[in-house]
Amino acid sequence: MTSLNELKLTYAIITVVMLFFVVFIIFVVLMYNRKQLLFVKEKQLKEAEYQNQLLQKELEKQKLIEQERERISHDMHDDLGAGISALKLQAEFLKQKAENSDLTNDIDELLKTSEEMNISMREMLWNLNTGNDTIGSFTSYSKMYTESFLKKTSINFIVTDRGIIHNMPVSAEIRRNMFLCLKESLNNAYKHSKANKISISFSQMDREFSMEISDDGIGMIEGKNEGNGLRNMKRRMKELNGEFEIVSKEDGTALIFTIVI
């Protein structure tokens, strides 16, 4: 009887020890998992903090770039703009006094050059101004430029837009390259297409923005070597990761530029 009781006691002790051991193992595993979880969370927090610091530095860098753009814009307007205006006034004053026709022609060329410089400066000021970094600003300025460029020609033109999100931000790089593509397209159409009408349309669907310049001219001549203008437009669109398409039609040509903003 005593041996049976001792055996039961021994079994009970062994069972308790094993249960204690199992509980201890479970406790160790739980503590280890908790420690690992805390380590992972701490690592994630440090990574998030590091990313936030990088983002903050990038925002500060962007802010400095924008401030520098604004400073250059103001300096150009105040100094270069004033200088061009003074040059133009002096040329007009000399023209009034000039009696020699050759001298008058030279002064007219000077006035023409100063006007071209003034237009170029306004374009640079528009591009530098951070307040113009929107799709709406791009389309508005493009319409104004088109009207100014074609108003002294016999070419009729129409400008339309569809689905434009006017306050959507866009980088200065995109604005500049798209605008230069527009200028080159208009210049090519004016010089080579013999068109009576030019149509420009801007359209947007979500983040995809398209610009199409079409004319009713003679179209592109097959087999003719590609000019610098077309090569430059292709290069600019490639730099923007955009697409450039030339569509030949029965009554002219369409140039289509598409980017994802």
The whole-number pLDDT of residue 230 equals 87
Check: CB of residue 186 under 8 Å from CB of residue 228: no
The whole-number pLDDT of residue 116 equals 75
pLDDT tens digits along 34-45: 887 787 788 888
pLDDT tens digits along 193-235: 888 999 999 999 999 999 999 999 887 766 565 678 888 999 9
Q: What phi, psi does 245 have (nearest 5°)?
A: -130, 135
Average pLDDT over residues 145-151: 89
Q: Which residue has the higher pLDDT, 161 or 94?
A: 161
Average pLDDT over residues 128-149: 90
At 237, the pLDDT band (50, 70, 90 cuts) reads very high
Hey, what are 43's tokens? 């690592």
DSSP lists the bridge partners of residue 204 as 209
Q: Residues of the chain with pLDDT > 90: what percent?
A: 31
Hey, what are 93's tokens? 């004053």
Lowest mean pLDDT among 86-90, 117-121, 166-170: 86-90
Q: Hey, is 202 helix, strand or coil?
A: strand
> For the CA atoms of 45, 48, 49, 50, what is the dihedral angle to 10 degrees?
120
Average pLDDT over residues 14-36: 76
Q: Which residue has the higher pLDDT, 128 or 80?
A: 128
Check: CB of residue 178 under 8 Å from CB of residue 259: yes
SS3 string, 61-111, reads HHHHHHHHHHHHHHHHHHHHHHHHHHHHHHHHHHHHHCCCHHHHHHHHHHH
User: Has residue 5 got a pLDDT over 90?
Assistant: no
pLDDT tens digits along 66-103: 666 666 666 665 566 666 667 777 777 777 777 777 77
Q: Would residue 14 be called left, alpha or beta, if left means φ above 0 and alpha means ψ between -120 and 50 degrees? A: alpha
The whole-number pLDDT of residue 10 equals 72
Q: Which residue has the higher pLDDT, 128 or 244?
A: 244
Cα-based angle 123, 129, 133 (whole degrees, multiple of 5): 100
The pTM of this model reads 0.65
The whole-number pLDDT of residue 148 equals 87
Check: CB of residue 138 under 8 Å from CB of residue 177: no
